[in-house]
Structure 1
Amino acid sequence: MMKGLKKWRLFSLLAALTIFLSGCGEKYLSTLTPAGQVGRDQFNLLLLSSAIMALVIIVVVIIYVLALVKFRRKKLGENFIPKQVEGNHTLEIIWTVIPILLLLVLAVPTVYLTYKHADVAGMEQVDEEGNKTAVTVNVTAKLFWWEFEYPDLGVVTSQELVVPTDEKVYFNLKAADVKHSFWIPSAGGKMDTNVENVNQFYLEFDEPSAGLEQGAFYGKCAELCGPSHALMDFKVKTMDRKDFDAWVDSAKTTKPVAGSDLAQSGEEIFNTSCIACHATSAAGTGGGVGPNLASFGDRNRVAGFMEHNEENLKAWINDPQSHKPGNLMPQPEAINNGEKFSEEQLDALAEYLMGLSIEK
């Protein structure tokens, strides 16, 4: 009976693992479906290392099984001792040289790709007019959100990174408070963001993200940074260079306009309660206390992880700590004369914020 229960538990565990693994491979999130050359290079290196490990395991298992079959006690008797190979120079050379060769096969492409992906000289290239030809993004990680500044374009966004396809995009990575780690699984490996220094690397994207299930790639913090580390997500929208240039022009020129009376009321509340921390224009530089909200209406998540709708937005505004513990956004009592926002105020704020857009 107990043996049957143990088998059933093992089956249940394997079934659960199968369900979890079925989520792997989604193009917007998985390292197994690389979306650019950096991701492909790293994926191919993963395949190479896995193949080498599999080869070693197979050879060892074959030798082990052959030894068990050939020299089993039942066949040769209790007192049989196989020929000893200790001190055999030929064998010692073989099992010394082969591992060295395997290590070289793995080490050469690893070192090559490490230096290749660390080459950010293209970040400084300029055209005949002295304008930089590559897109550079200053990424600042904060508790628990992301700021993306385009220093050569005069644009800053938060929570959603927008980049062109079919070219290298360079990143300057830093942290404003504690160590974080910048990771877009589909595009390439992670890199730490530190308070003390700036890390640099580049990524590439093959195709626009509009056709993906979520309309964007997922990015995450890959370094345990606090109680809401798991909720520190961001989205990456990729588009061809023509559309990206149009997005930049829109970001620099679009100003927030409250259309309806309710939105105008929300703008008034925002300007008395929220404007000290949040900008509503994407034109300018980074360094804001809170996320830039110029493209809030274009996002597909509230606070980086909640479904993008007015109900979630109102819940977030009225009690941010219950949804993302440890974040630095003040509770409404601190900015609304010691009281929670009323339902009417929340409706007005939600109407105003959902109308902030760069893309529409």
Structure 2
Amino acid sequence: MMKGLKKWRLFALLTALIVFLSGCGKNYLSTLTPAGEVGREQHNLLLLATAIMTLVILVVVVIYVLAIVKFRRKKVGENVIPKQVEGSTTLEVLWTVIPIILLLILAVPTVALTYKFADTKAMDAKDADGKAKAVTVNVTAKLYWWQFEYPNEGIVTSQELVVPTGEKVYFNLKSGDVKHSFWIPTIGGKMDTNVENINKFYLEFDKESKDLETGVFYGKCAELCGPSHALMDFKVKTLSKADFNNWVSEMKASKNHVASGDLEKQGEDIFKTSCITCHAVSGDGKGTGIAPNLATFGDRNRVAGVLDHNKKEIKKWINDPQSVKPGNTMPQPEKINNGKKFSDQELDALAAYLMGLSVEK
């Protein structure tokens, strides 16, 4: 009975492991499929550490098995005591020097890469015209959303980071409330965002995200920050340099957006009386910092970072944001709509207006 039970336990463990591993390997969210210089270097470091640990385990297991086989009682008898090696200078030197060597093999590249990725001096480099050479993004983490400001371009967006490929992109990381952590698993990271100081580092993006299964890379908050920490996602859209420059131009022009169609115009009117206090709909400038900038809402991959990007989910989010992300700072509709819920007609109008906020269509 017990043997059968143990077999089923092993089977259950293997099944759970297979299910767990089936979630690995997606090229838009896995650290095992790096798509940038930082991600590749970190991946190589992970492989080196794994190889060292595997070597140590194998050596220990081999010695352990040999000792069991060679000195088992059936072979050497009951009263045989193997040669004692306590105090052996040779062995003491070996198991002191070998771990030191292994630690050095791992420590040297780790320290070197740590300093390399922290080198952000090029962030301040300027060309002959006094313009910044590198793309810099000021990242502000909030409960539970992300703001991305491009100070050199004079634009701001939220929830979806847009960057050029083939060059280093520099980041200034800070938090607007509690400690968070900025992480794009496939590209590299992670680094904390703090309230009291700014952390700096860079990433490099190798390929355009349009060829990915979802059209974007996935970013996460990697620091437990509240009840909806697991839902604090953002997406990363990587473009060629030319397409990125076009996107910047369109973002600057978004301040001239005009709603089209009766339903969108109705939604714009509702938005201006209920939502405009917190949300900006122009990508030009620095943004309010109170709530996500919505200039590119129609271009996004997700609603609130986690819901499917369609009108049904937009209405669900507006009607009851706490049911989607508990603890978020978006008010319930009663607080901004004279003490009552939005009607279906009003929700349809707001959804139509928000889907029309686009710089890519």
- TM-score between the two structures when normalised by the length of structure 1: 0.99
Measured against aligned partners, the alpha-carbon deviations of 1:47-73 in whole angstroms (never above 9, x if no partner) come to 001100100110111111111111111
Name the structure 2 match of 1:280: 281
Residue number in structure 2 paired with 1:291: 292
Give the SS at the match of 1:293: coil
Q: Show the counterpart of 1:151.
A: 151
d(CA) in 1 for partners of 2:183, 2:10:
34
User: 1:287: Cα distance to partner?
Assistant: 4.1
Q: CA contact under 8 A between 2:279 and 2:288: conserved in structure 1?
A: no
Q: d(CA) in 1 for partners of 2:7 and 2:347?
A: 54
Q: What is the rounded CA distance, in whole Å, between the counterparts of 1:72 and 1:266 in structure 2?
A: 82
How far off is 1:5 after superposition?
Answer: 2.9
Q: Which residue of 2 aligns with 1:100?
A: 100
8 A contact 1:266–1:348 mirrored in 2: yes
Taking the aligned partners of 2:272 and 2:257, their CA distance within structure 1 comes to 12
Structure-1 residue corresponding to 2:261: 260
**What is the match of residue 85 of structure 2?**
85
Per-residue CA deviations over 1:169-191 (Å, capped at 9, x if unaligned) read: 00000000000000000011210
* Alignment of structure 1 residues 178-217 onto 2, 5 Å: 178-217=178-217
Q: Structure 2 CA distance, aligned partners of 1:25 and 1:322?
A: 31
Whole-angstrom distance in 2 between the partners of 1:256 and 1:224 = 38
Is the CA contact (8 Å cut-off) linking 1:279 and 1:288 kept in structure 2? no
The SS at the match of 1:171 is strand
Deviation for aligned residue 1:12: 2.0
- Percent of aligned pairs with the same amino acid: 72
8 Å contact from structure 2 (residues 280, 287) kept in 1: no
Structure 2 distance, partners of 1:90, 1:20, is 45
Correspondence 1:1-360 to 2 at 5 A: 1-254=1-254, 255-360=256-361
Q: CA deviation at 1:13?
A: 2.5
Shift of the 33–74 alpha-carbon distance from structure 1 to 2, 3 Å rule, reads: same
Query: CA–CA distance in 1 between the matches of 2:352 and 2:148?
Result: 25
- The 1-side partners of 2:84 and 2:12 are apart by 45
> C-alpha separation between the residues in 2 aligned to 1:292 and 1:330?
16
CA distance in 2, matches of 1:346, 1:11: 50
Taking the aligned partners of 1:199 and 1:288, their CA distance within structure 2 comes to: 19
C-alpha distance in structure 2 between counterparts of 1:17 and 1:79, whole Å: 45
Displacement of 1:79 = 1.0
Q: Let me know the Cα RMSD of the aligned residues.
A: 0.9
**Equivalent residue of 1:350, what SS?**
helix
The unaligned stretches of length 5 or more in structure 2 are none
